[in-house]
Amino acid sequence: MAKALIGYLDSDLRDPRLTADNARLRARVRELEALVLRLSEENDRLVAASAADILDRESGLQEMQPA
């Protein structure tokens, strides 16, 4: 499996179809890696915003309760 991910081909590399397919797959892997990175960063921002919102709500509730 790892050999497939890095573009290892056990056959003749002079076949233009294999070369083109390999290039297409490498480009797709780059696109998917960029998407994973973008979604991970977006998720981190959303988690931070949610945590801040929860803390704001909790501090607001503590201020409203009688001492």
Radius of gyration of the chain (CA): 24
Q: What is the pTM of this model?
A: 0.60
Q: Which of 9, 41, 10 is nearest to 25 (CA)?
A: 9
Q: State pLDDT tens for residues 3-61.
A: 665 666 555 557 889 889 999 999 999 999 999 999 999 999 999 999 999 888 887 76
How many CA atoms are closer than 13 Å to the CA of 56, on its beta-carbon side? 6
Tallying the residues shown for the chain, one arrives at: 67
State pLDDT tens for residues 44-59. 999 999 999 988 888 7
Cβ neighbors of 7 (< 8 A, separation 6 or more) are: 22, 25, 26
Domain edges within the chain: 13-64
Q: How many CB atoms lie within 10 A of CB 18?
A: 13
